[in-house]
Amino acid sequence: MGGVVIKLYRYKTIIFLLLIFIIFLLITKKIYSDYRKERKYWEIEEKDIEKRERLAKEIKETEEEFLKLKKKLLPPDIFYLKKFTEEIATKANVKIETFRPLSSVKRGEWIEFKVNLKLTCSYQELVEFVSALEKMQVIEIESLVKKGREENQFRGEMILVGLARKNG
C-alpha cells in the first residue's frame, strides 16, 4: 500500500507541475498578447507622429516660400507693374505701344492685375523680354498673339498677369 501512495504522490506532483506549467503558459500568452497589442499601438502612434512631423515641416517650408514670394510681390498699384514692365522692355529694346489694364482682382493676401500690351520688336528682343518677365516670378504671361505679317519683326499683343501685395 505504501508503494501506491508514493505512485499517486508522484502523479499528483507531475499533474500539479503540469497544471502550473499550463497556467504559466496561459499567463505568458496573455502577457505576450497584451505586449503585441501595446507594441502595435505604439508603432501606429510612432507612424502618426512621423507623419505629423513631416506635414509640419512641409507647412513650415510652404510658409517660408510664401513669405519669400510675398516679399517679391509688386506694390499694390498697377503703375508699378507698368513701371517694371517698361523697364524690362527698355532693356530688351521692346517698344510697348499700349499698356491697357484689363482687370484687378483681390485674391486673399494679394491682388492680381491683368494687362494687355501691344508690342513691336524683333524676335530676338521678344525672347529677351519674355525671359526677363519669366524671371520676375510675380509676372506671368497669359497669352502672346502675333498680329502683323512681317517676317523678321514681331508686332502683336501680350496679356500679362502681375501679383501685388494687398497692403503696401
pLDDT above 90 as % of the chain: 26
What would the grid cell of residue 82 be?
A: 507698368
Confidence of residue 118 (pLDDT cuts 50, 70, 90): very high
pLDDT value at 37 more than 60: yes
What DSSP string describes 114-161?
EEEEEEEE-HHHHHHHHHHHHHTSSEEEEEEEE----SS-EEEEEEEE
Mean pLDDT of the chain: 84
What would the grid cell of residue 76 be?
A: 499694390
